Structure 1
Amino acid sequence: MVWLRRMFWSCILISIMATLHARAEEKVWLSIGEFPPYFSSKLSHYGVFPHIVEEAFAVEHIQVEYIFLPWKRALRMAAEGDYDGTPGWVYSTERAQQFSYSDPVLNETKVFFHLKSLNFDWNGIEDLKPYKIGLTLGYFYGPTLAKAEERGDFLFERVSTDLLNMRKLAAGRIQLFVVNREVGLQIARSEMPAQDAANITYHPKPISVDAQHLLISKNIDPVRAQFLLDSFNRGLRKLRESGRYEALWKEDIGGPGP
């Protein structure tokens, strides 16, 4: 009887170890692109967003492999099921047909950057009429600015990159520049001459605040997709409850919270 009990408990132990090993070996493949300081191959943990995603999955014993691609390709290949998903997207009905959305990970806050010498304040869209405003090609800035741009009685100028807009702002060729708050600060710190950066600030009133999510493809195995989504949401909640979420933001970004 003793040997039977030993065999029974040995089998139980082997089963537990096998389960733990399988969980430890679980991996998720996510496609991402360059958008510092949120995403960058040059940053520690590839930026704050991948860092949060990595640790949320790690809490649930899942390892993350990131694949850097141009953003359009990253989205397309994840939609087709070549990768499990892609992080960093706001909700759209079009994307919801191809992806399941996680709980919100970060809030993207868009603001007006301007020179410190400009006495700028605004409460509504009509307050913007006196100013030449820089926008970036291909970006959507929310329904309010989209409608204003369509009207044609505001001074909007679109150029190819955020960096070019920031340079135009520093040179006085535009008075306002609409950009994600953290992205604008990153450009000023890393891409601009120190004197130009010192002359630039932003208005604290947000133009828009949009939740960003991890997207899990609907073209992978549905059981796996649900497992990954549930695991990530669980891990993200644990990060928030433990205070680790805020610590990651301060570690990677500093400044105002997400």
Structure 2
Amino acid sequence: MKQWLFAGLWLMWSGVCSAETLVIYGDDHNPPKISVTSAGSANGILVDMMERVGERIGQTFEFRLLPWKRAYHEAVVQGAGLILGVSWSTARESMLDYSEPLFTDRLMLFVRQGERFDYQGVSSLRGKRVGVKLGVFYGEDLERQVARRELQVAVAPTQKHLLRMLLQQRIDVAIIGPEATTGWNLIDADPVLQARKQEISVLAEPFQMDVNYLGLPKNLDMTQQKREDLLEAINQALSDLRADGTMQEIVTHHGL
């Protein structure tokens, strides 16, 4: 029954899709989720997932990976394409239609060795200088506390920069993800960080569990019916990829 349902959705979507290529925007430097390789191609967990989705529904995607803030602006504000790896927020809900979840990002707190603390929520960060990546949404609780000037944040273009700032004592906490593995891999890949690896520690308690989605901007040049058909086909493909183990295979392939 499920196979017939998926076949019906594929025929429904392919009937309106033709040979049109859809552009997907995303972050160019957020490994292992999504990044640009040295050869200039798109790579990562989310890219692989959407390529599998495209195969299942007969849709070609073109990935345009840019610094996150620019990627978000071009996709969501200008309506130039879909946006990959976006988090949910109340403000964004008015601008985006969300897919089913693609990946849950466990964001971790990196600190200097000897400066560990008991993390019990965002309020635990008060009095500390918190490093965040430019353009990334870290949850409404953090946003509210920053707006009220209850938290002090410093912004960096990449997570590698955040870890360097931590060693330079420009921040007290760096929010890094997904998983602690990502932070340690960034440290091992950078000679400056690797030489001082023993000075860095990570808290056991995650900062938050951040669910990543594919977003369809509501100002995209696409009819409402076509948008609904596309989203339904994508969601069915994601459900099937999750059920048959493909999603977990992709995550494992990228070291998580």
TM-score normalised per structure 1? 0.74
Structure 2 residue 93 is matched with structure 1 residue 99: no
Q: Structure 1 residues 196 and 71, CA, compared in 2 at 3 Å: closer, same or farther? A: same
Q: CA RMSD in A?
A: 3.3
- How many percent of aligned residue pairs carry the same amino acid? 24
Q: 1:52: how far off?
A: 0.9
Whole-angstrom CA distance in 2 between matches of 1:75 and 1:138: 8
Whole-angstrom CA distance in 1 between matches of 2:80 and 2:68: 14
Q: Structure 1 residues 225 and 194, CA, compared in 2 at 3 Å: closer, same or farther? A: same
Aligned to 2:154: 158
Q: Structure 1 residues 71 and 167, CA, compared in 2 at 3 Å: closer, same or farther? A: closer
Aligned to 2:202: 202
One-letter amino acid of the counterpart of residue 160, structure 1: A
One-letter amino acid of the counterpart of residue 162, structure 2: N
| Superposed counterparts of 1:1-258, under 5 Å | 25=19, 27-37=21-31, 38-42=33-37, 45-79=42-76, 80-83=78-81, 85-125=82-122, 127-129=124-126, 131-136=128-133, 138-149=135-146, 152=149, 156-161=152-157, 162-182=159-179, 184-191=183-190, 192-218=192-218, 219=220, 220-252=222-254, 254-255=255-256
Whole-angstrom CA distance in 2 between matches of 1:72 and 1:173: 23
Q: 1:231: how far off?
A: 1.4
Larger radius of gyration: 1
Q: 1:157: how far off?
A: 4.5
Deviation readout 1:135-185 (Å, 9 max, x if unpaired): 45554433433444455566x341433433311322445432223344534
Whole-angstrom CA distance in 2 between matches of 1:81 and 1:62: 19
Whole-angstrom CA distance in 1 between matches of 2:42 and 2:137: 28
Number of equivalenced pairs: 234
Q: Structure 1 residues 189 and 225, CA, compared in 2 at 3 Å: closer, same or farther? A: farther
Q: 1:198: how far off?
A: 4.5
> Which secondary structure does the structure 2 equivalent of 1:141 belong to?
coil
The runs of at least 4 consecutive aligned structure 1 residues that moved more than 6 Å come to 19-24
Deviation readout 1:166-217 (Å, 9 max, x if unpaired): 1132244543222334453443233343232354232121222221110123
Deviates most, 196-205 or 97-106: 196-205
Deviation readout 1:18-74 (Å, 9 max, x if unpaired): x99998956432122313212212177521111111112212222221123443443
Whole-angstrom CA distance in 1 between matches of 2:71 and 2:208: 25
Whole-angstrom CA distance in 2 between matches of 1:238 and 1:62: 16
Q: Structure 1 residues 186 and 228, CA, compared in 2 at 3 Å: closer, same or farther? A: farther
Residue 137 of structure 1 contacts residue 158 of structure 1 at CA under 8 Å; is this kept in 2?
Answer: no
Q: Structure 1 residues 147 and 74, CA, compared in 2 at 3 Å: closer, same or farther? A: closer
Q: 1:88: how far off?
A: 1.0
Whole-angstrom CA distance in 2 between matches of 1:26 and 1:125: 44
> Which secondary structure does the structure 2 equivalent of 1:104 belong to?
coil
Whole-angstrom CA distance in 1 between matches of 2:188 and 2:145: 30
Residue 36 of structure 1 contacts residue 186 of structure 1 at CA under 8 Å; is this kept in 2?
Answer: no
One-letter amino acid of the counterpart of residue 35, structure 2: S
TM-score normalised per structure 2? 0.75
Q: Structure 1 residues 25 and 198, CA, compared in 2 at 3 Å: closer, same or farther? A: farther
Q: Structure 1 residues 61 and 172, CA, compared in 2 at 3 Å: closer, same or farther? A: same
Residue 116 of structure 2 contacts residue 203 of structure 2 at CA under 8 Å; is this kept in 1?
Answer: no
